[in-house]
Amino acid sequence: MSLEVPTSTFALPAGLDPSAVVALLDDRFDLELDPPATVRSTVVDTADRRLGAQGLELTLEGGRAAPTLVLRDGAGSPPVTAPVVPRRRWMAGDLPPGPLHDRVAPVVGVRALLPLAALRADVRSLRVRNGDGKTVVRLRLTAHATLDDGDRPVPLESRLDVQGVLGYPRARARVVAALTGDAGLAEASGTLADEAIAAAGGDPSGLRTKVRVRLAPHDRTGEAARRVLRDLAGMVEANLPGVLADDDTEFLHDLRVAVRRSRSVLRELRNAFPPEDLGRHRRALRWVQEVTGPTRDLDVQLLGWDALVADVPADRRAALDPVLAVLVDHREAALRALRRALRSASHREAWASYRAFLDADPGPGTVPPDAARPVAEVAGRRIRKVYARMVREGGAIDDTSPAADLHELRKRGKELRYLLELFGSLWPDEAVRPLVRSLKGLQDVLGTHQDREVQAAHLRGLATELAGRPGGPDALLALGVLVDRLESDQREARARFAERFASFASPAQAGIVTGTFG
């Protein structure tokens, strides 16, 4: 059953006076108009526009006197509001309990809600009524909109939202016909929020983690790899302010993924780059990964904390409070170190040099051996080789193998995954997708195995520090329960390894790899 009511948004061309549209509607329909009001609002969403992607629009309205978040869904539902305390950002847990929280929280997850663009507009509500004086269509005119960006307001398109009322579809159709026919209006291509974010210099689709580079099989590897790396470097730069501001944990996660993918490209396609520069840039990227690692490890511990302690008997859970306090203290220290490192002059120089390397025209001179070769040939060869190596190394793993062997295999798996993610579009989807699926299945197991190893080792390492804190002895006892739980998870993951690896290394899969990337 669908009770959705269609909503359309029409763009008003720059030369058209919005009042002329109102006059036209007033002439055709029984129109009730509210007086226009100047409204200041701020578009609020996660940095990766999770709400926008779901067709939801969240704005902060009401000024300083009554700051209120307003959620509109574009499906005919009335706006949902919640009073809020003004902040630089809101996590889902900062929103007051109620319908707005319930709609927003599952969509934003662990990401912060951030102000993305400030707007000012003359907003006017209009209602079309039927013979009983009943509202049958609602309209909202947003005119003279500007991006409220300091001293230089940027004009935005005027818009008219037309929202039907449940049970009165014909009235809405008549209004739409008048607007498209008599007034000659066309539907707006995006939302006002999208337009404002673009005018503020942002990307309306939000920060992304997927590389958007169109590759062709015969592109020269050196140039293709540089295009991919430039896109990844853009992601690192886009996430950096959020990392330094510590707005939410995902900025750091996404920055590290972009760095790791970049390192992978530089390593796997190393023969496409001049060797004299390569080592320096690879070291610079590895350094970024190292200085950001401790904070991320602690984020993983803290994000998983509630789930981890859920199994601890309630009467012993309070004993773990000192453990949590230590983790929070450690994260603060790690973040301070991360900020010092990423704000340092040496990092800025190294990054500028890396950027120059990506933007440089390789020019004449000695051409690295793979630079001019077709990217499908070079990347395909690497995919084949990394896959073959994983099959060889994974096949040697048995119940007696040390954890380090599984960790090494996981690292290879990441290399393969990044090659497939970044260059997989060069081959048929039906060949790439099953490989990605079986690789993902294997990596999930290897990831759990390694993460639990790191977490357990980290918690064990807190013992000395905990012993000296109030409540320390009790915390140490309860800590043992957590470490047991992590080790048990790790054993379970290891028990699933053989089955997942068998699927990944099956003759059928190997045949597809040879046939596709050979």
Partner 1 sequence: MKVVATYNIKGGVGKTSAAVNVAALAAGQGLRTLLWDLDPQGAASFLLRVRPKVRGGGRKLVRGRSDVADLLRGTDVEGLDLLPADFSYRHMDLVLDESGKPARRLRKVLAPLAAHYDLAVLDCPPSISLVSESVFDAADALLVPLIPTTLTLRTFEQLDEFLAGVDRRPQVLAFFSMVDGRKRLHREVVESLPQGRGDIAATTIPAATEVEQMGVDRAPVVVRAPRSRGARAYEALWDELRPRLGL
Site for partner 1, rule CB under 8 A:
1-3, 5, 76-81, 98-100, 127, 132-135, 138, 165-168
Q: How far apart are CA 463 and CA 452, in angstroms?
A: 17
Burial readout 475-495 (b: 16 or more C-beta within 10 A, e: otherwise): bbebbebbbebbeebbeebbe
Outline where 269-310 has alpha helix (H). Answer: 275-303, 305-309
> Quick one: 79 or 115, whose CB is closer to partner 1?
79
Nearest to 221 by CA among 347, 337, 366, 367: 367
The neighbouring-strand residues paired with 41 are: 119
Nearest to 273 by CA among 353, 358, 335: 358
Phi, psi of 280 (to 5 degrees): -60, -45
> Quick one: 72 or 226, whose CB is closer to partner 1?
72
> Quick one: 81 or 146, whose CB is closer to partner 1?
81
Nearest to 205 by CA among 217, 195, 214: 195
Q: How far apart are CA 426 and CA 152, in angstroms?
A: 45
Cβ at position 1, least distance to partner 1 in Å: 5
> Quick one: 101 or 281, whose CB is closer to partner 1?
101
Cβ at position 80, least distance to partner 1 in Å: 4
Cβ at position 100, least distance to partner 1 in Å: 7
> Quick one: 3 or 65, whose CB is closer to partner 1?
3
Cβ at position 506, least distance to partner 1 in Å: 43
Q: How far apart are CA 83 and CA 62, in angstroms?
A: 9
Nearest to 204 by CA among 246, 147, 260, 247: 147
On whether the CB atoms of residues 206 and 194 are closer than 8 A, the answer is no
Instruction: Tell me what percent of the chain is helix, strand and coil, each rounded to the nearest 5.
Output: 60, 15, 25
> Quick one: 32 or 290, whose CB is closer to partner 1?
32
Cβ at position 74, least distance to partner 1 in Å: 14
Cβ at position 40, least distance to partner 1 in Å: 22
Cβ at position 19, least distance to partner 1 in Å: 25
Measure the CA angle with vertex 18, ends 12 and 20; round to 5°.
115
Phi, psi of 2 (to 5 degrees): -120, 130
Cβ at position 57, least distance to partner 1 in Å: 15
Outline where 83-177 has alpha helix (H). Answer: 99-108, 169-177
- At residue 186, the 3 state secondary structure works out as strand
> Quick one: 167 or 402, whose CB is closer to partner 1?
167
Q: Find all residues with CB under 8 Å of 423, minimum gap 6, and list them.
A: 215, 228, 375, 376, 379, 383
> Quick one: 71 or 266, whose CB is closer to partner 1?
71
Cβ at position 135, least distance to partner 1 in Å: 5
Burial readout 238-263 (b: 16 or more C-beta within 10 A, e: otherwise): bbbebbeebbbbbbbbbbbbbbbbbb
> Quick one: 136 or 446, whose CB is closer to partner 1?
136
Only one residue has tokens 């700051």, namely 67
Cβ at position 163, least distance to partner 1 in Å: 9
> Could you tell me whether strands 114-129 and 154-155 are parallel, antiparallel, or unpaired per DSSP bridges?
unpaired
> Quick one: 55 or 98, whose CB is closer to partner 1?
98
Cβ at position 108, least distance to partner 1 in Å: 18
> Quick one: 57 or 254, whose CB is closer to partner 1?
57
